[in-house]
Structure 1
Amino acid sequence: MKKTFFCRVVEKLNRENYLDCLSDKMYLKLVFRAKMGMRLNLQNPQTFNEKLQWLKLHDRKPEYTSMVDKYEAKKYVAERIGEEYIIPTLGVWDNFEEIDFDSLPNQFVLKTTHDSGGVVICRDKISFDKKKAREKLEKSLKRNYYMQGREWPYKDVKPRIIAEQYMVDESGYELKDYKLFCFDGFAKAMFIASDRYKAGEETKFDFFDMDFKHLPFTNGHPNAEHEIKRPESFEKMKELAGKLSEGIPQVRVDFYDINGQIYFGELTLSHWGGMVPFKPEEWDYKFGEWIKLPDSIGGGVSDCQ
């Protein structure tokens, strides 16, 4: 979707923090209209993206903060499905200066705990560009992710840097994400993210139903040109995602599959922040049908029914 002049202006104001003074509700109405090209209906939300905005305002359980913290989430998930699904953490620090690179292996991954995109991959310490890594991670640490999308769970996440074990899947060069859309204990759809770190390639998103039938739409990125194979552990992923989503109106549960072994990636309560169109639009409504809000809109969703 080509950005309108209005959208470009709102994005610029947002980047420069001029929208920080707005209430969460006013902010979401303004940015949603700019990015989606339509008014946000909070009185009777119908689409997936509309309902995510409603949940941002009304579904604010304290445990959500731990769920989206990339360090604390590992403890949260391990307590519910087991330690065997957790990627080993090699260290956690409050700033870049504290990182003890001598203690890290030749290959590792650095991530900021409080945002999206603050990732640096080291495939070889000898050629690792520490200056570039510092610039990216320090910029991420300063980023107020809550203010940029009003996703309440991130508001009190402590910005830190963690190091994780470096892993690749059967491709030998990447780690595909298997991202399951779950609704109060049930996985309904998923997408597989591929080509994320392939030079010169745009990331690919391919959506599937729970029978692994390819779904005919796009959302944010194009489909892959090659066949995406069903992961060996697909059925187990669905089972684990169901457990992790019990009692939650909507959450995306991300996994990796390495030779049949499942590893937890992250939990996301607002896919794309709820502000990226589905093409065709009918799929925004289809996904929206799976989110069950209270019969009387306006209260909380403490019962998640």
Structure 2
Amino acid sequence: MTILKSATLHRPTQQYPVPVLRRIKEQLKSRLPAPVFLTLLHHKCIGRYPNLLRPATFNEKILQRNLRPDPRYIDLSDKLAVRDYVARKIGRAHLIPLIAVPDAFTREVFDALPEAFVMKANHGSSFVEVVRDKSDTSFEHLQALAQRWLATDFYHVARERHYRAITPRIFFEHLLLDRTGHIPADFKLHCFGGRPGGPVIYLLVISDRFGHATHGDVYDVDWNHLDIAIGYYKRSAVPAPRPENLDDILETAAKLCEDFDYVRVDLYAPDNQVYFGELTFTPGAGVLPFTPDSIDYEWGKLLA
């Protein structure tokens, strides 16, 4: 009897592989009502529970957009469909040239691609693969990546409801480089519109995004380096030189945001040119950390 008791007491607990536990966790999360999911996610990322009934902060108001998006957000968040809107507003010269928008990514499509390109998906964030030299990658690698992207329901990531209506597509763009051969900085212009005197704009500039020294710096329209951090990007010790075409960057953003009370306009500005990146209506999905935290409240006052 003692032996049987001992064996019972020391029977090892059944261990599940990590991927199984992760799948169970994801299934449980997917069943949560969107307001509950977003409340818990906001608390995890921001450190406080949001007020969804009387939102005051920037993040709280973005959470409301997640739950009740403007119908226009669907096409304008689709990285392919938005190109027509951009062409009407600022001209096709500001669009990064497309290489291919295949119905399916096949080996024939891969073989026809140039030596350098960017592969993207249209229905969410961070679906980007930069290929500087096609000989350094393979069809199999890109095909697996494309399949994973296409299988991702981006709505379930952070309950941004307008992404549910976007049909996933893979597409290929020209690789944008500056005259030194570097990928240009990513200008993310937070534009608060609906004002007689023009929009209030803050610029988050992401440098070396695909390298090993990524920084994120916030500037006002006069290129003052602000003591603000957005997200988890580290500030640079020394601000970047004022872009020669800063006025063109700001003018382009102002044209693209004039139909909205708020939108983040992403642009690239290599060698005194300006290219469109994307429009984002729910940046950070409403769980975007600010340092200092008071900026969350200040920007909340700017957003109607």
TM-score bracket, shorter-length normalisation: 0.7 to 0.9
CA deviations 1:244-280 (Å, max 9, x no partner) are 2123221100100121110000011111112121111
What is the correspondence of 1:98-109 to structure 2 with a 5 Å cutoff? 100-109=109-118
1:223 to 230, 235, 243: 235
TM-score (normalised: structure 1): 0.85
Alignment check: 8 A CA contact 1:42 1:54 kept: yes
Aligned to 1:260: 272
2:106 alignment partner in structure 1: 97
Checking the alignment, whether the CA contact within 8 Å between 2:249 and 2:269 is kept in structure 1 is no
Q: Does 1:150 align with 2:159?
A: yes
Rate the CA distance shift 1:138–1:99 in 2: closer, same or farther, 3 A.
farther
CA drift at 1:15: 6.5
Counterpart residue number, 1:56: 66
SS in 2 for 1:18: helix
Match of 2:126 in 1: 117
**Residues 241 and 35 (structure 1 numbering): CA distance in 2 closer, same or farther, change over 3 Å?**
same
**CA offsets, 1:8-66, max 9 Å, x none?**
xxxx68962322223322221121122222111112212111111122223x2222111
- Which residue is 2:55 aligned to? 45
Which structure 2 residue ranges, 5 or more long, are not aligned? 1-21
Q: Are positions 1:129 and 2:138 aligned together?
A: yes
Alpha carbons of 1:135 and 1:15: their partners in 2 closer, same or farther (altered >3 Å)?
farther
Q: Kindly tell me: are residues 202 and 94 of structure 1, through their superposed partners in 2, closer, same or farther at Cα, counting changes over 3 Å?
A: farther
Contact 2:217–2:239 (CA under 8 A) maintained in structure 1: no
Residue 302 of structure 2 is matched in structure 1 by: 290
Contact residue 187 and residue 241 of structure 1 kept, 8 A: no
The yes-or-no answer on 1:191 pairing with 2:200 is no
State the TM-score, normalized to the length of structure 2.
Answer: 0.85
Equivalent residue of 1:223, what SS?
A: coil
Distance 1:126 1:34 in 2: 42
CA distance in 1, matches of 2:302, 2:241: 26
Residue of structure 1 in register with 2:221 after alignment: 210
In the alignment, the residues of structure 2 paired with residue 123 and residue 247 of structure 1 have an alpha-carbon distance, to the nearest angstrom, of: 36
Give the deviation of 1:222 after TM superposition. 0.4
Q: What CA distance in whole angstroms lies between the structure 2 residues aligned with 1:15 and 1:76?
A: 39
The answer to whether the 8 Å contact 1:93/1:99 transfers is no
CA distance 1:163–1:171, change in 2 (3 Å): same
Larger radius of gyration: 2
Shift, 1:170, TM fit: 4.6
User: How far apart are the structure 1 equivalents of 2:33 and 2:284?
Assistant: 20
Gaps of 5+ in 1: 1-11, 293-305
Q: Which amino acid aligns with 1:79?
A: R
Query: Are the equivalent residues in 2 in contact too, given 1:194–1:224 (CA < 8 A)?
Result: no
Residue type of the alignment partner of 1:72: A
Q: Residues 150 and 82 from structure 1, CA distance in 2 versus in 1: closer, same or farther, beyond 3 angstroms?
A: same
- Could you tell me how far apart the structure 2 residues matched to 1:229 and 1:67 are? 32
Length, aligned pairs only: 279
Which residue identity lines up with residue 260 of structure 2 in the other structure? I
1:31 paired residue number = 41
CA RMSD of aligned residues (A): 2.1
Q: Say if 1:256 and 1:262, in contact at 8 Å, map to a contact too.
A: yes
2:193, 2:262 within 8 Å by CA — same for their partners in 1? yes
Q: Which secondary structure state, in structure 2, belongs to the residue aligned with residue 121 of structure 1?
A: strand
Contact 1:119-1:137 at 8 Å conserved across structures = no
Mapped to 2, the partners of 1:13 and 1:285 lie a distance apart of 36
